[in-house]
Amino acid sequence: DAKTTQPTSMDCAEGRAANLPCNHSTISGNEYVYWYRQIHSQGPQYIIHGLKNNETNEMASLIITEDRKSSTLILPHATLRDTAVYYCIVRVAWVNRDDKIIFGKGTRLHILP
């Protein structure tokens, strides 16, 4: 069963903020929200992750709702190079052990010139 639901595709004008939503209504207390992206035929690239607080790094911001049932990835100033498939993933956080990532369908983001 899919743990996350994302729009199939989205468009965003270059230079604008791209806001990608994700629903994860069945998320457990020990699951993090991760975002990866895959630019055509390249290896998936880590963007950001968070548990319950909003997070920001050099690539993006992650806003998680208070009930943790949904989140939004924000690319503040989208460029043509941000055109990619964006995957929202929930993943259990273990201590001293790692776990695989399961990719769902993702959102195909088109940045328009």
Partner 1 sequence: AAGVIQSPRHLIKEKRETATLKCYPIPRHDTVYWYQQGPGQDPQFLISFYEKMQSDKGSIPDRFSAQQFSDYHSELNMSSLELGDSALYFCASSLAEGANEKLFFGSGTQLSVL
Per CB under 8 A, residues contacting partner 1 are: 32, 38, 41-46, 49, 51, 85, 87, 91, 93-106
- Can you tell me the distance from the alpha carbon of 73 to that of 61, in angstroms, rounded to the nearest whole number? 6
Single-letter residue type at 92: V
CB closer to partner 1, 25 vs 46: 46
Least distance from partner 1 to the Cβ atom of residue 43, Å: 3
- Can you tell me the distance from the alpha carbon of 6 to that of 107, in angstroms, rounded to the nearest whole number? 6
CB closer to partner 1, 18 vs 47: 47
Least distance from partner 1 to the Cβ atom of residue 13, Å: 26
- Tell me the CB-side half-sphere exposure of residue 100, using CA atoms within 13 A: 3
CB closer to partner 1, 14 vs 110: 110
Least distance from partner 1 to the Cβ atom of residue 36, Å: 8
What are the percentages of helix, strand and coil residues in the chain, rounded to 5? Answer: 5, 45, 50
